[in-house]
Amino acid sequence: MRGIRLGLIGGATMLVAAAVAADRTQESVARGGFEAKLQYCKTCHGLSGQGYYGYFPMPRLAGQQPQYIENQLRAFLERRRTNPIMANVAHALSPSMISALAAHFQALDPKPLGGAPRALSGLGKRIYEDGLPESNVPACAACHGLDGRGHSEIPRLAGQLYAYTVGQLSGWSKARGQGTAVDTSAVMAPTAHNLTRAQVEAVAAYVSELR
């Protein structure tokens, strides 16, 4: 009787041990998959997600709103936002991987890369905080926040690369809102169109320095 009971207990322990081992293997596969994807993102977006001045400016993802990251990856995938590089990248990501990557980047907080023409940022601050009523440009701060950190589907602009922001605002409707359905990009379209090139450069310089 005693022997049988000990045998049962021993068997149960082994089963538990086997189950734990199986769990660990699954966990490390998932972890390995995540690490591999993350390293891939960082080859372009920088080791701390700070962005990178390459042949194209690679945008900062550090501190970015997870909801915005998810929206943009879906937009690249569905080609509502056209970018050949990111369409391929987004193609290989599962929804749970997207959430995990977005949470990781949100938590990073490196210094802004800098490099914007400083002389422009005074005008940029005025546009950012007060808008340009004479040209129908609302205050950016009303949506993106005074600190430029954004909120849910409204992106963080603080610390974003100057050249990237200039590029986005100058080419808004060439890349975004390409689908038949209206998406979140429509909110920004009139504002992007109503800014002159000089105003775009000023506001891009200002937000690039925000932390």
Binding site for ligand HEC (CB under 6 A): 37, 40-41, 43-45, 56, 58-59, 61, 69, 71-73, 83, 85-86, 89, 93, 101, 127, 137-138, 140, 142-144, 153-155, 157, 160, 165, 168-169, 175-176, 184-185, 187-188, 191, 203
| Cα–Cα–Cα angle for 84, 199, 174, rounded to 5 degrees | 25
Q: How far is the CB of 45 from ligand HEC (least distance, A)?
A: 6
Closer residue to ligand HEC, CB minimum distance, 27 or 94: 94
Positive or negative, the Cα torsion across 191, 195, 197, 198? negative
Would you call 143 helix, strand, or coil by DSSP? helix
Question: Helix, strand, coil % (nearest 5) of the chain?
Answer: 65, 5, 35
User: How many Cβ atoms from other residues are within 10 Å of residue 11's Cβ?
Assistant: 10
CB of 119 to ligand HEC, least distance (A): 18
CA dist., res. 162 & res. 6, Å (int)? 70
Measured from the CB atom, is 26 or 196 closer to ligand HEC?
196
Nearest-approach distance from CB 195 to ligand HEC, in angstroms:
6
- Rounding to the nearest 10 degrees, give the CA dihedral for residues 33, 164, 73, 148: 100
Closest CB 113 distance from ligand HEC, rounded Å? 14
* Smallest distance, ligand HEC to C-beta of residue 108, A: 12
Q: Pick the closer one to ligand HEC by CB: 59 or 63.
A: 59
User: Residue 1 or residue 180: which is nearer to ligand HEC going by CB?
Assistant: 180
Residue 57, beta-bridge partner list: 53
CA–CA distance, 136 with 132 (Å, rounded to integer): 6
Nearer to ligand HEC, 101 or 113 (CB): 101
